[in-house]
Amino acid sequence: MHLDTSSGLIDSARHLPSENFDQRDIGAEPECIIVHCISLPPGEYGGDQIERFFTNQLAGHEHPYFTHIADLRVSAHFLVKRDGELIQFVATHDRAWHAGESVCLQRPKVNNFSIGIELEGLDTDPNGFTDAQYRELRELIASLRAAYPNILESNIFAHSDIAPGRKPDPGPYFNWQRLFEL
């Protein structure tokens, strides 16, 4: 796995461009990684609903839950599916819209200096995340850190770390120790 810093794309990822991004502030570059989780509808895995959500193609009438989120404009840089497939929505040098109102490294506007990685999963699912996801996430983090030396190992956070009380993901079933031991 290699990140081409000129394009901001990972060579082994399936590229599925999202319109939900903008440019980072001048001089800003990734300093941290934010790990999230998502499943659509909640608790269901394997479909293309997450991809359609991040590319503004999710129809509200398809499921009752979608009526509340279909018009949101959000994204992440990456999604790691349950089988380990890596999908990239936003180039790493661009600002994906994943963190919302949050504070990280004692600063607001976290999207400006972070890379957002979504895992297909649910924060309350005791089956947690798959071996394939942990392997792919570890490899992705290593590639990002090689390309962006300001991303220290200590600068990898849960969404719940940067938005406590507002976001619970990736939740208690995500095994941080397992991630770093791989």
Residues 6+ apart with CB under 8 A from 92: 3, 5, 8, 9, 30, 77, 115, 144, 147, 148
CA Rg value for the chain:
15
CA separation, residue 104 to residues 40, 78, 99, 149 (Å): 27, 19, 10, 17
Sign of CA pseudo-dihedral 96, 102, 104, 107: positive
| Catalytic residue, candidates 29, 31, 44, 118 | 118
- Range list of H helices, the chain: 49-54, 131-147, 159-162, 176-181
CA angle 26, 20, 173 (to 5 degrees): 100
In the residue annotation, 29 being an active-site residue is answered as: no
Any idea which residues carry the catalytic annotation?
118
